[in-house]
Structure 1
Amino acid sequence: MSVVCAPPAPPVAVLIVDDEAPARARLRDLLADLAAEMPNQVVAEAENGIVALGVLAALKVDVALVDIRMPRMDGIEFARHLSQVAQPPAVIFVTAYDAYAVQAFELSAVDYLLKPVRPARLLAALRKLARQRPLSAAQLARLPQVARSHLSCHERGRLLLIPVTAIIYLKADLKYVTVRTREREFLVDESLTHLEQEFGDQFIRLHRSVLVARDAIIGFSRSAADDAEAQWQALLRDVAERLPVSRRQWPLVKSLVRRSGG
């Protein structure tokens, strides 16, 4: 009776995400040194979360080694966008955070490596991959939270990133939110209430279903429509739409716009 040996497992496909080239090179060298004990292949590198999300659209990645502090999009925000990725990788954060931040990662059951990364610690983290699932919404909610620099949505099989600074208004539309920029509209699967909580410093509520960027308001006009709820409309930069301002919100909107010099 012949014995059929199982084929060897394919190497772990690794994405290294760090804005510093020397840090990426060190991780690449460490992974090469560990290849005999944990077969792996660095399939791509990225200098920030935006580039990394583009890599995931083109390549299958098993694990991402992700720095925390990076320009344009940091590691935490990158992880939050992974819910929009069809086959998200496991994430191992690489951080120089202090003990308090490390405790937050431990509570979230997310693995982390402290810089400078030690080979034995990296090997242990990689060996946990068989038991590690992609980050859940509950795990992400327990990570240190800061307002995102981008929103994300799926469109015709592609992951699109929308810079928050380019958003003129957000409008609730059944279970989705319409995001309006100067160029076009997007649909995101998010709650307007949660968006208001996250971006309250940048957007103001005009109506129960509309948030508008504070710096997008260029004036007001009286509403011509027979709307008992809205006597005023907000005039916006770069788009022709006029958004209704509810009676309830009008005093606050007027005060905030005057205070900001609008």
Structure 2
Amino acid sequence: MTALTAPLPPLRVLLVDDEPLARLRLRSLLAECKDTPVEVVAEAGSASAARVWLREHACDLVLLDVQMPGDDGLQLARTLLDLPLRPWVVFVTAHAQHAVQAFEIEAQDYLTKPVRLERLQAALVRVAQRQRERGALGQVEPEVVLPQDEGEVIPIVERGRLVRVPLAEVLYFKAELKYLTVRTAAARHTLEGSLNDWEQRLAGRFLRIHRNALVAKAAVRELDRHAPSDEGESGALPPLDALGDSWAVRVALVNEWLAVSRRQVAAVREALRAST
């Protein structure tokens, strides 16, 4: 069984809600979620109590109320962003009006009370998938160091949800008709915008390899004669004599090949030399 398909351990969950009955109901619902195993490792009745617990312990997921005495759940979630390995956050609240703010601080879901079992299960499945992706990133090509600017994120709206993609996780941008594909090791996102604009913004960290592609310099693993498919899938190189003057780079973590225009070959070679 591969690392990508091996079952994950139960999600370690911290419940944060000032109402004991609300925490009790969440415990009961979590016990009914059979698709994603969870373990409630602690409860807190306030944001301050949660912070105290998190200073000494770790968890994978925080199920978090918004309105509580003292600091509210949104304030607590913002402080979690500073943790080296921050837990995922799912808000559980009776107040629907804070959803936009919640997703702006990278909440994985926003559940309104009374919580339905189906919605809670869906949120847990999403968190478990993110946890699996996080684990995969830690196991595949660990020597790859992408640009580290954790404060810079790309906000992307997908299916009505706001997704904040850390720039440090982006492997490449690729122009597709009127949109850009933003590729990370875990997913593909679709973004409106101009590749030229991103090239100017990311000069020094990303390399323009083709009129339709901008690649993180640290993610360029190999330059070779190649005939990549339209999807950029990985695969064995065809015979060199069948390639003509076609060049491509292999992108780290996803092992995809992207075409390189002839005039950019020298720049790609220089980037590879600089990384050795």
Report the TM-score when normalising by structure 1.
0.45
Report the TM-score when normalising by structure 2.
0.43
